[in-house]
Amino acid sequence: MSRLLTDYELMIMLAILRLRNNGYGVTIARELEDTAGRSTTLGAVYLALDRLERQNLVASALGEATAQRGGRAKKYFRVTSKGLQAVRATQRAFIALWTGIPQLQGGTQ
């Protein structure tokens, strides 16, 4: 069975997928804030990305160095096949937990 992701890891992975496997720290943080309404710091994003990369759930590649970044290259991230399995396993676990809870069905209390 694939490892289940924490809520923050899942959000990071979904942001990368939403960015078509072409996200870097700033765009991933912006996607979390704009789409999920979750404020975050770049430090927290990079810490999670580092952990996910060490577990082979995401992979990175350096882009071209740019003058506006002082000659530094952006590090782009993509979700690996192992990462996609973890996203799907986490999705299944959440759906199973949500199923059958009356308070979450049709807005009833």
Measure Cα distances from 98 to 9, 20, 84, 92 in Å.
Answer: 19, 28, 21, 10
Q: 35 lies in a domain?
A: yes
Number of separate domains in the chain: 1
Q: 40 lies in a domain?
A: yes
pTM of the predicted model over 0.85:
yes
Q: 103 lies in a domain?
A: no
Q: 17 lies in a domain?
A: yes
Q: What angle do CA 39, 42, 45 make, to 5 degrees?
A: 80
Place of tokens 């992701």: 5
**Is the predicted pLDDT of residue 1 greater than 90, yes or no?**
no
pLDDT, tens digit, 9 for 90 and up, residues 56-72: 999 999 988 777 767 78
**Token pair in block for residue 100:** 């059958």
- The CATH number of the domain holding residue 73 is 1.10.10.10
- Count of beta carbons in the 10 Å neighbourhood of residue 70: 7
Mean pLDDT of 37-61: 97
User: Containing domain of residue 48, as a range?
Assistant: 7-94
Residue 19, classed as helix, strand or coil, is coil
Q: 69 lies in a domain?
A: yes
Q: 63 lies in a domain?
A: yes
Q: 105 lies in a domain?
A: no
Q: 12 lies in a domain?
A: yes
